Amino acid sequence: MRPDLILMDIRMPVYDGLTSCRLLKANSVTRNIPLIFLSAADASEEKISGLRAGAVDYVTKPFDFEEVRLRLCVHLRPPVHQELAPLPNTSGSSAADVSPATVGTSVNNSTFDVVLFEAARRLILEKIDQPMGLHVLAASVGTNARRLSVAFKHCCGVTVFDFLREERMKEARRLLSESTLDIGAIALAIGYSNTANFSTAFRDRFGMPPSQFRR
């Protein structure tokens, strides 16, 4: 049964709230279900992380029950143009037939690959300016490095590192074309602490250094 709304803590065992939220938002069956964090974690960074992961609201403890009730009513009210998530296909497996609750049971591997890939892809794009190792990325979407690598191979045919590098180069090309940021600032914006390394990577990908591309 598809829930109308999900209320969870941001600090939970096994799958923490952020990991669960990322997986739910990466799944076409569950991504449109409003998710609210209700937690004693009241640091600004945790609130921002929760909202960036896909939550529609964040309520801190101790809370007033009436306030929470009103917030639930607001988020349960359907928008005028609501995009309905597809219902699970009962005739067979599809890429939408998975939720975090079913992970590790009878989920088809290729199905879970799609969810892992989409969750990791979103996180990579969200934090493209930050260095993120494979093990950290995998843990952030509730899996291990080997399993995440398999998911990327199955879904896009490249390694996690190759995917990250390509996304960084695409963003660099966009910034060079659409912004007035200097090359050093662009390097930092896509996760390179060294401008020379960025220039080398850009030249290897596009056949010219960023300074020439901008001209």
> pLDDT grade, residue 35 (50/70/90)?
very high
- In the chain, domain spans: 6-76, 108-161, 162-214
Residues facing residue 37 across a β-bridge: 8, 58
Residues facing residue 60 across a β-bridge: 39
Question: Which CATH number does 6-76 carry?
Answer: 3.40.50.2300
Q: What is the pTM of this model?
A: 0.62
C-alpha to C-alpha distance for 34 and 122, rounded to whole angstroms: 18
Give the tens place of pLDDT for each residue, 148-204.
999 999 888 899 999 999 999 999 999 999 999 999 999 999 999 889 999 999 999
C-alpha to C-alpha distance for 69 and 83, rounded to whole angstroms: 24
Give the tens place of pLDDT for each residue, 44-82.
888 888 888 889 899 888 888 888 888 888 888 765 444
What is the per-residue burial (b if ≥16 Cβ within 10 Å, else e) of 102-133? eeeeebeeebbbbbbbbbbbbbbeeebeeebe
CA–CA distances in Å: residue 57 to residues 21, 60, 99, 189: 12, 10, 21, 28
Q: Would you tell me which CATH number, out of the four given (3.40.1280.10, 3.65.10.10, 1.10.4160.10, 1.10.10.60), belongs to the domain 162-214?
A: 1.10.10.60
Give φ, ψ of 81 to 5 degrees. -115, 85
Q: Choose the weakest-confidence range: 1-15, 132-146, 157-171.
A: 1-15
Give the tens place of pLDDT for each residue, 77-90.
765 444 444 444 43
> pLDDT grade, residue 100 (50/70/90)?
very low
The H or E element containing residue 152 is: helix 145-156
